[in-house]
């Protein structure tokens, strides 16, 4: 047990150090989150926007700037978490593979990455909730932080997938940005007239948007929609696990050696030398 804890602690410490060394991500956390969330509140008019809360079945009219601030917070935490996990996976792929081939248990590597993702997501969710709280008071701030945490975990898992299957950093950045922007923008009634469509239930952050909106403007709980978001995370994490397992597989295939032995078995025996014999 002590050996397993030691292996897990070493891998987790390494992952957290890698995230801390990502200066661009740290800059995004410090500047992008408060800037985007604050601008959403200040620039968007506070005109009432009709919103249908599926968690409670209520039809509400909520201030547009407060609603956009919630979706802006979701967009910010998903982008940053996805980018951090993509960068860690993309840049550390060869190192992870060498560790796995050297005998380091892949279970401990996966558990360490999940731990670093959870810590990062929790800090970002708390930070974004605190920034939102400086502008106005959501009805259920703990539920808002929980919803943001679940969305960050989901996009962190997506970042692992993109980091495993894409071959260039610009491809991963574009994929994350477009996924998050389209995902969140389609669910905002201000930017999308079809925000109440049943098709929105297929989007990756649907559970978070519903739970976070409920947290902002209702005293009701939304456990079903938090569970929906956790289901999205579980599915993304499972795919991330498969891609990680494939990426760290043993590259020393046994087929070439077997083929070589098979070819050698049918090789004709060498004949005597054909040179001149000494008299």
Cβ-based burial of 141 (10 A; exposed 0-12, middle 13-18, buried ≥19): middle
Q: Which two tokens stand for residue 227?
A: 């569970």
Positive or negative: CA dihedral 104, 155, 118, 211: negative
**What is the DSSP code (8-state) at residue 275?**
S
Query: Does residue 69 contact residue 41 with C-beta atoms inside 8 Å?
Result: yes
Q: Name the packing angle between helices 141-165 and 223-247 (round to 10°).
A: 20
Around Cβ 93, how many Cβ atoms within 10 Å? Answer: 15
Instruction: Output helix, strand, coil percentages for the chain, rounded to the nearest 5.
Output: 75, 5, 25
Question: Nearest-5° angle of CA 152, CA 237, CA 34?
Answer: 10
Q: Which two tokens stand for residue 162?
A: 């993109």
Q: Which two tokens stand for residue 20?
A: 């801390």
Going residue by residue through the chain, which has 279 residues, state the pLDDT in tens, using 9 for 90 and above: 787 788 888 888 888 888 888 888 888 888 888 998 888 888 888 888 888 888 778 888 899 899 999 999 999 999 999 999 998 888 877 777 777 777 777 788 888 889 999 999 999 999 999 999 888 889 999 999 999 999 999 999 999 999 888 888 888 889 999 998 899 888 988 887 777 788 888 999 999 999 999 999 988 888 999 999 999 999 999 998 888 777 776 544 444 444 434 444 444 444 454 444 443
Query: Does residue 195 contact residue 186 with C-beta atoms inside 8 Å?
Result: yes
For the question of whether the overall pTM of this predicted structure is more than 0.75, the answer is yes
Element at 53 (helix H, strand E): strand 48-53
Q: Which residues contact 200 (CB under 8 A, 6 or more apart)?
A: 186, 187, 194, 206, 209
* Closest among 87, 163, 165 to 120, alpha carbons compared: 87
Report how far residue 89's alpha carbon sits from residue 79's, in angstroms, rounded to the nearest whole number. Answer: 15
């Amino acid at each position: 047990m002590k050996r397993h804890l030691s292996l897990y602690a070493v891998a987790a410490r390494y992952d957290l150090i890698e995230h801390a060394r990502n200066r661009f991500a740290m800059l995004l956390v410090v500047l992008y989150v408060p800037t985007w969330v604050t601008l959403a509140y200040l620039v968007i008019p506070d005109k009432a926007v009709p919103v249908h809360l599926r968690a409670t079945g209520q039809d509400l009219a909520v201030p547009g700037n407060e609603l956009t601030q919630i979706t802006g917070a979701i967009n910010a935490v998903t982008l940053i978490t996805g980018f951090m996990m993509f960068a860690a996976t993309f840049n550390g792929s060869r190192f992870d593979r060498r560790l796995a081939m050297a005998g380091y248990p892949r279970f401990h590597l996966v558990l360490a990455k999940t731990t670093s993702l959870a810590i990062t997501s929790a800090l970002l969710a708390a930070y974004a909730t605190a920034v939102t709280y400086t502008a106005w008071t959501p009805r259920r701030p703990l539920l808002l932080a929980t919803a943001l945490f679940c969305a960050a975990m989901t996009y962190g898992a997506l970042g692992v997938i993109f980091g495993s299957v894409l071959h260039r950093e610009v491809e991963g950045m574009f994929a994350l940005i477009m996924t998050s922007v389209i995902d969140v923008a389609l669910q905002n009634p201000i930017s999308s007239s079809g925000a109440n469509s049943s098709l929105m239930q297929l989007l990756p952050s649907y559970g978070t948007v519903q739970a976070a909106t409920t947290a902002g403007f209702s005293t009701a709980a939304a456990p079903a929609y938090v569970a929906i978001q956790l289901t999205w995370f579980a599915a993304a994490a499972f795919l991330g696990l498969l891609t990680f397992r494939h990426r760290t597989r043993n590259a020393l295939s046994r087929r070439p050696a077997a083929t070589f032995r098979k070819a050698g078995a049918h090789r004709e025996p060498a004949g005597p030398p054909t040179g001149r014999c000494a008299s």
